[in-house]
């Protein structure tokens, strides 16, 4: 009698829509590379069952509120020290101006993206914040959200590691918030690893924030950074940790699978980029572990030649794409042209559609405060009207 391999049993369970146990999930890691197509096909089938033939993106303005950061991740070109060339904290006027221009170009999302807790490391920054009427970086993000909201955009803050009090302060002004887990393995903070000098990348503290967001009923975006020295078991452990938090609180609105790309001039500048096969495998594993309903995203600008394969691996979303601002975290990687991305989606049998920075399931009183909820619903209605035309 032929005995089925545990990985094939797990694949069969996932394809049938059953929840995978942790044991099943780890069994999938033994699936040989030659079965990547099987893995992707199972993932894509689940995606289409739950999300139909639409792939979404969020038209956004990327607002790099400040690029000062107290951490030093060895792959990062975004962060600056005070007085470095390119050091930049956006003034309230710049936030207002960029938000207004973004809205006029059809943007919906104001992505607040910034370094971690610079006021702890740089005394002069605290004084700058005070001149803007803020007593901390998180408080300045609150002001930035108020400005963008007044200009008609929906804020989504990715403001680094925040306390529960800071998130509670930002909740009424954000339709959703985010923090990449990156990876659950504490090994990545060891000597010589990418997060050695990044105290805010401590995975236990990041999981705490993700759980705190659930307790506060904040729709939340998180994800994995693939290719920074982790292994597949650690990626699976990370996906399982995200699933545990989501099963407790129901708040994980989307999971980003992001590929590492080496940037010249950084300590990891000569490391290899994340392998495409690893990226596709991680997307498929994420779909099978997190389930058909989860919104699964891969940034199109970081894999410009792999859009078809990303679709076939089971994503249902491309994340934020901006007609105005570049990807300040990956400035070397331009956004794709929407027309080209639309054609690629259509060639694969999908429609490309804009979305809000919060998914419909979270557009309710229990997940949102007023006035953000009303603004979001109005924009949602306009979007529906435009799509119907």
Interacting residue ranges for ligand SF4, rule: CB under 6 A: 69, 71-73, 76, 78-79, 115-116, 198, 200
Instruction: Pick the closer one to ligand SF4 by CB: 115 or 314.
Output: 115
State how far the Cα of 44 lies from the Cα of 29, in Å rounded to an integer: 18
How is 212-232 classified by DSSP, letter by letter?
HHHHTT--EEEEEEESSS--H
Q: How many CA atoms lie within 13 A of 153 on its CB side?
A: 33
State how far the Cα of 206 lies from the Cα of 199, in Å rounded to an integer: 10
Task: Provide, rounded to whole angstroms, the least separation between the CB of residue 328 and ligand SF4.
Answer: 10
CA-angle at 368, arms to 364 and 373, nearest 5°: 80
Task: Provide, rounded to whole angstroms, the least separation between the CB of residue 48 and ligand SF4.
Answer: 34
Tell me the backbone φ, ψ of residue 56, rounded to 5 degrees. Answer: -115, 165
Task: Provide, rounded to whole angstroms, the least separation between the CB of residue 116 and ligand SF4.
Answer: 4
Instruction: Pick the closer one to ligand SF4 by CB: 76 or 128.
Output: 76
Q: Which spans in the chain are helix H?
A: 6-15, 22-28, 36-51, 92-104, 118-121, 123-131, 137-150, 164-170, 203-215, 232-249, 276-290, 307-313, 338-347, 372-388
Task: Provide, rounded to whole angstroms, the least separation between the CB of residue 87 and ligand SF4.
Answer: 13
Whether residue 188 contacts residue 265, with contact meaning beta carbons closer than 8 Å, is answered with no
Instruction: Pick the closer one to ligand SF4 by CB: 121 or 169.
Output: 121
Instruction: Pick the closer one to ligand SF4 by CB: 13 or 72.
Output: 72
Task: Provide, rounded to whole angstroms, the least separation between the CB of residue 195 and ligand SF4.
Answer: 8
Task: Provide, rounded to whole angstroms, the least separation between the CB of residue 115 and ligand SF4.
Answer: 4
Count of other CB atoms within 10 angstroms of residue 250:
14
Instruction: Pick the closer one to ligand SF4 by CB: 57 or 78.
Output: 78
Instruction: Pick the closer one to ligand SF4 by CB: 302 or 311.
Output: 302
């Amino acid at each position: 009698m032929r005995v089925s391999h545990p990985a094939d049993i797990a694949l069969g369970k996932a394809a049938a829509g059953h929840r995978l146990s942790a044991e099943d999930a780890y069994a999938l890691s033994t699936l040989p590379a030659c079965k990547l197509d099987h893995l992707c096909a199972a993932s894509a089938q689940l995606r289409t069952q739950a999300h139909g033939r639409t792939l979404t993106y969020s038209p956004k303005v990327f607002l790099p509120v400040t690029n000062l950061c107290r951490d030093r991740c060895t792959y990062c070109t975004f962060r600056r020290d005070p007085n470095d060339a390119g050091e930049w904290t956006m003034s309230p006027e710049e936030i207002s101006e960029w938000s207004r221009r973004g809205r006029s170009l059809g943007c919906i999302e104001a992505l607040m993206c910034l370094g971690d807790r610079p006021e702890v490391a740089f005394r002069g920054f605290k004084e700058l914040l005070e001149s803007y009427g803020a007593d901390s970086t998180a408080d300045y993000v609150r002001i930035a959200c108020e400005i963008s909201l007044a200009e008609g955009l929906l804020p989504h803050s990715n403001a680094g590691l925040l306390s529960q009090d800071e998130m509670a302060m930002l909740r009424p002004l954000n339709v959703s918030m985010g923090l990449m887990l990156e990876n659950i393995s504490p090994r990545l903070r060891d000597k010589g690893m990418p997060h050695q000098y990044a105290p805010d990348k401590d995975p236990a503290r990041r999981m705490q924030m993700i759980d705190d967001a659930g307790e506060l009923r904040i729709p939340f975006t998180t994800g994995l950074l693939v290719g920074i020295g982790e292994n597949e078991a650690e990626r699976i452990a990370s996906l399982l940790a995200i699933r545990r938090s989501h099963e407790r609180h129901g708040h994980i609105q989307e999971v980003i699978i992001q590929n590492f790309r080496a940037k010249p001039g950084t300590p990891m500048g000569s490391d290899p980029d994340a392998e495409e096969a690893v990226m596709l495998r991680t997307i498929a594993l994420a779909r099978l572990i997190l389930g058909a309903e989860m919104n699964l995203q891969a940034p199109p600008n970081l894999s410009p030649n792999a859009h078809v394969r990303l679709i076939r691996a089971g994503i249902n979303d491309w994340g934020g794409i901006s007609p105005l601002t570049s990807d300040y975290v990956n400035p070397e990687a331009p956004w794709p042209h929407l027309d080209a991305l639309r054609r690629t989606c259509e060639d694969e049998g999908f429609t490309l559609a804009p979305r809000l920075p919060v998914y419909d399931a979270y557009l309710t009183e229990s997940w949102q405060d007023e006035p953000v909820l009303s603004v979001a619903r109005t924009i949602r209605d306009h979007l529906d009207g435009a799509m119907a035309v």
